[in-house]
Structure 1
Amino acid sequence: MTIHIRHLTFDCADARGLAEFWSAITGWHLFYDEDPEVVVAKSYPSTETMLLFIPVPEPKTAKNRLHMDIKPVDTTRDELVERALGLGATILGDHRTEDGGGFVALQDPEGNEFCIELGDHERKPHGPMKIGLTI
């Protein structure tokens, strides 16, 4: 069986405002109409995973059980962290190491957690990752 993850969905107070934050972080485009939902994607419609922002009346009350780990492609981890902070993110935990590795845990303007890791171009080479099977 094959699946495609169509959307990562954010419940939020301000769908347009939060979508603008994630559009600025990802470099993807905003798509919306008269509906209150907003999509952030490279293109629309798309066969790639998109971000969907849906307004809800209740506030966020606890830590996310799922979060995104993002990595830069054409900049550095540290530059992307500074960009996120300038757009309204806040640091939850700075896990950068003295040797230049590590990551930074942040939250977006509505408190959704995400991490910024090193880009592939910043990583030191290492051996292949082991693949596990779960039954």
Structure 2
Amino acid sequence: MALHWKLVVDSTDPHAQADFWAAALDYHVEDPGALVSELLHLGRLPEADAVTHLGTQRFAALAAVRHPDDPFDSHSGAGLGRRILFQRVPEHKQGKNRLHIDVHNGGGDPDTLAARLEAFGATRVEFIDEGPIGRWWIMQDPEGNEFCAIG
């Protein structure tokens, strides 16, 4: 039986990271507002562990994005398919990623994709041209995590 999974990314600002990646991938930022409000009301979540983001209560240390076509739990907002969870950690990124995301635009121009991602806060690092193998930009998200923009 295949397992369910999600990609978890350490982050100093999980909500900003979720906003960036939702825009970059055309995903939805998960909205756990109903669950967070319930936990606050029941006293099971301290006020200090909640923030208001995009107009609803959210977990302060967690934010996630999900694919718009995948099912999700309407109470918790958690996606039940493809998703990325950003968890707050105290330290900033150090060193090269050991895992990264490749963003594809369906065979288009990598420069066009890179420009789109820059509009959301990404930074170009290096252009790679491997001829018939492919062409892509190595980029960084707003917290410096490397990813590839592939045409």
The TM-score bracket by the shorter chain reads: 0.7 to 0.9
Say yes or no: does 1:26 pair with 2:25. Answer: yes
Letter in 1 for 2:31: Y
Say yes or no: does 1:35 pair with 2:56. Answer: no
* Structure 1 Cα separation of the partners of residues 127 and 88 of structure 2: 30
Q: Is 2:110–2:135's contact at 8 Å kept on the other side of the alignment? A: no
* Structure 1 Cα separation of the partners of residues 106 and 87 of structure 2: 28
Say yes or no: does 1:51 pair with 2:84. Answer: yes
Per-residue deviation, 1:97: 5.9
Structure number having the greater helix percentage? 2
* Structure 1 Cα separation of the partners of residues 131 and 83 of structure 2: 35
Gaps of 5+ in 1: 119-135
Letter in 2 for 1:40: V
Residues 74, 38 of structure 1: alpha-carbon distance in 2 compared, 3 angstrom cutoff? farther
Residues 48, 76 of structure 1: alpha-carbon distance in 2 compared, 3 angstrom cutoff? farther
Paired residue secondary structure (2:21): helix
- Residue 112 of structure 1: aligned partner: 145
Aligned length: 117
Structure with higher RCO (Cα < 8 A, 6+ apart): 2
Letter in 2 for 1:35: F
* Structure 2 Cα separation of the partners of residues 92 and 39 of structure 1: 25
TM-score for the superposition, normalised by structure 2:
0.68
Gaps of 5+ in 2: 33-57, 74-78
Per-residue deviation, 1:77: 2.9
TM-score for the superposition, normalised by structure 1:
0.75
Letter in 2 for 1:107: Q
Letter in 2 for 1:20: D
User: How large is the RMSD of aligned CA atoms in angstroms?
Assistant: 2.3
Report the identity percentage. Answer: 34
